[in-house]
Structure 1
Amino acid sequence: MTLIYGHRGAKGEAPENTLNSFKRCLEHGVKRCELDLHLSRDGELMVIHDPTLKRTTGRGGKVSEQLAEDLVTYDARQGGPGWLRPCPIPRLAELFEHCEFEHWQLEVKSASRDRAARTVQAIDQLVERFGLRDRVTVTSSSRTVLRALQELAPDLSRGLVAEYAWLDPLKVAANYGCELLALNWMLCTPERLLKAQKQGLHVSVWTVNEPALMRRLADFGVDSLITDFPGLATATLGNR
């Protein structure tokens, strides 16, 4: 059975990476989600995709230059589907508190060694605090982040995000002891999928929004797919 993950919550239906988006995902009965993390200036894990604030809040500056207490007051509904009320940037702790997901894919973007280390340690501490160690996989396309995970939080599940085929993703995943491969769906051939699964990897493909493509990838045998429209995915794959 192909599992469904809500991409940044339910990105196609509510402002991405906001509490409303994750609640919408859960309303569809989808109990798995993917989200993006950046550290605030004071070391808090903030749920936002870009390193800058411009696209989702219309503000200037970087997430890393702002305090968490300020970031949570910024309205992050710009550029998404229409939404009547403000949707603040959430702390990861707030989502852990209010959303009962069975599994979380927490993506960490590329970072310097120092920043990667601080981010990994912050995730490790928060996951421990909420008792979610068996429900979290930390993913990244950055070798710096994956190395930090290996060294500083070896018992946290790791996943490689693979967008391009210029390096063999299976080899990279093996090098960093990954359990999950988050694969751009365009790289998902039946051969690569089979090889990855034989290697013991859970293969999660993204971002899959067309019903025909959802069915095709499910027929291939992908372990899970990440979608902006968890409701549509449930309706499309629900009777399989």
Structure 2
Amino acid sequence: MPGPERPDPGARHPWFTATDAPRVLAHRGLVVPSDARDGVVENSFAAVAAAHAAGVTYVESDCHLTADGTVVLFHDESLVRVTGDPRAVAEVTTRELESLMESRGGLITLEQALDAFPSLRFNLDVKAADAATAVGRIVAKHGDRVLVTSFSDARRREALRTAEAGGGIRPATSPGTETVARVLSALAVRSERLVRRTLTGVDALQIPERRGALRVVTPRLVEAAHRHGIEVHVWTVNDPADMRRLVAMGVDGIVTDRADIALDTLS
């Protein structure tokens, strides 16, 4: 039985053309249990390298700015969960963060990630307002293999504006929380016009399956996105049965901590 119709790949942003859907997005790289026991952490150079070695094409990561203005791949505002240091990323220099990450898989900056792994596509979540412009400048010459997103539409748009000003290909993009909420509202009132208008300029919807009691990912949402040539990627999915169920629903991408398992499950 054929699955739900997917967007025409010939019309897609270059970020999407590296593989066919369903896409596996390595959430903060890949840290398998044996590496974790050796001290390797998420969003480290080793985690990105492990995802690449596993055969991943897409790596989802996060961007913060250090005290001396370097964009680094790091999820939390604070260093405490990952390194035990109570300071914020914005309060430490790049050299200090390199020292803290040395035994944890190594620090990786955004520029290093793009240069060291030229075959990878990066899905970048701009976590800090101060990082938006710097992210845009760095990805400007890599727009064909970058998707920019953020919970904040303002941060996302600032990064995109800066990247476009660099004269290269505009990065692909997934909207923030406010835009996703408007899409869900438009679907609730069955307004195709509002859905189309809200999704203008969007390449993918990257969303959780649920938000509390609210089911976000539904066949109706997937079908609406596909009608407008937009993919749906769901985070963060680590159970193979859930991966298969979501792909059967028509979801185009799975964001997962275990990209190795997802590649085996969905290949």
Normalised by the size of structure 2, how large is the TM-score? Answer: 0.75
Aligned to 2:127: 109
**Partner residue of 1:160?**
175
Select the residue among 67, 72, 75 that pairs with 1:41.
Answer: 67
Task: After TM superposition, give the deviation of residue 175 of structure 1 in Å.
Answer: 6.4
Q: Which among 243, 252, 266 is matched to residue 214 of structure 1?
A: 243
Counterpart residue number, 1:64: 90
Aligned to 1:54: 80
- State the AA in 2 paired with 1:27: A
Say which one has the larger Rg: 2
Cα deviations across residues 76-112 of structure 1 (Å, max 9, x unaligned)? 8xxxxxxxx532332112222222444110001253x
**Cα distance between partner residues in 2 of 1:56 and 1:173:** 40
Cα separation, 2, equivalents of 1:34 and 1:90: 14
Moved over 6 A (4+): none
Counterpart position of 1:4: 24
The CA RMSD over aligned residues, in Å, is 2.6
CA distance in 2, matches of 1:166, 1:141: 11
Equivalent residue number for residue 234 of structure 2: 205
When you count helix as a share of all residues, which structure comes out higher?
2
Who is 2:222 aligned against?
A: 193
Hey, what's the Cα distance between the residues in 1 that align with 2:120 and 2:108? Answer: 19
- Note closer, same or farther for the CA distance 1:7–1:127 as it changes in structure 2 (3 Å cut): same
Q: Deviations over 1:106-125 (max 9, x none)?
A: 001253xxx2xxx2332232
2:14 match:
none
Deviation, structure 1 residue 215: 0.3
Distance 1:190 1:48, change over 3 A: same
Deviation, 1:164, is 11
C-alpha distance in 2 between matches for 1:110 and 1:40 = 10
Counterparts of 1:94-105 in structure 2, within 5 Å, are 94-105=112-123
Contact 1:162–1:182 (CA under 8 A) maintained in structure 2: no
Distance 2:85 2:171 in 1: 34
- Displacement of 1:230 in angstroms is 0.8
How many pairs were matched up? Answer: 222
Structure 1 unaligned blocks of 5 or more: 77-84
1:18 aligned to which of 44, 62, 66: 44
Q: Percent identity?
A: 29
Distance 2:55 2:161 in 1: 36
Shift of 1:162: 4.5
Following superposition, the deviation at residue 221 of structure 1 comes to 1.4
Q: Deviations over 1:189-208 (max 9, x none)?
A: 11111111222222111101
Q: Distance in 2 between matches of 1:54 and 1:167?
A: 34
61-70 or 168-177: bigger deviation: 168-177
| Separation (CA, whole Å) in 1 of partners of 2:26 and 2:251 | 16
8 Å CA contact 2:153, 2:176 repeated in 1: no
Report the TM-score, using the length of structure 1 for normalisation. Answer: 0.82
Q: Distance in 2 between matches of 1:194 and 1:181?
A: 12
Letter in 1 for 2:114: F
